[in-house]
Amino acid sequence: MFRLPFCPVPTDDGAFSPSKLALSLATTKVTDFETVAGPCVAGEERILMVCTEERNMTMANGKKFSTGNHPVEMLLPMMHLSNAGFCIDVVTPTGAPVKIEMWAMPEEDDAVMAFYASFKDRFDNPGSVTDFVTTSLNDGFPYVGVFIPGGHGAMLGLPDNPEVGKLLRRCHGRDLHLLAICHGPAALLAAALPDPAGATNPTGNGEDFAYSGYELAAFPDRIDRQTPMIGYMPGQLPWHFGEKLTALGMRIVNRKADATCHVDRKLISGASPLAANDFGKLAVKELLADRNG
Encode pLDDT of 14-47 as tens digits.
Answer: 999 999 999 999 999 999 999 887 777 766 789 9
Residues carrying an active site annotation: 182
Encode pLDDT of 175-188 as tens digits.
Answer: 999 999 999 999 99
Amino acid at position 51, single letter: C
Per-residue pLDDT band at 58 (split at 50, 70, 90): very high
Encode pLDDT of 139-168 as tens digits.
Answer: 667 899 999 999 999 999 999 999 999 999
Q: What does pLDDT average to over the chain?
A: 92
Q: Which CATH number is 41-291's, of 3.40.50.80, 3.40.50.1950, 3.40.50.880, 1.10.10.10?
A: 3.40.50.880
Other Cβ atoms closer than 10 A to 80: 26
Which residue has better confidence, 248 or 197? 248
CA distances in angstroms from 29 to 80, 106, 107, listed in the order given: 19, 4, 5
| Range name among 74-78, 169-173, 272-276 with the lowest pLDDT average | 169-173
Residue 224 scores a pLDDT above 70: yes
Read off the pLDDT of each residue in 261-280 and give the average, rounded to a whole number: 98
Answer whether 291's CB lies under 8 Å from 274's CB.
no
d(CA 206, CA 218): 19
pLDDT value, residue 36: 83
| DSSP 8-state assignment for residue 97 | P
Amino acid at position 286, single letter: E
At 147, give phi and psi (nearest 5°). -120, 125
Could you state, in order of their start, the residue ranges of all structural domains in the chain? 41-291
pTM: 0.94
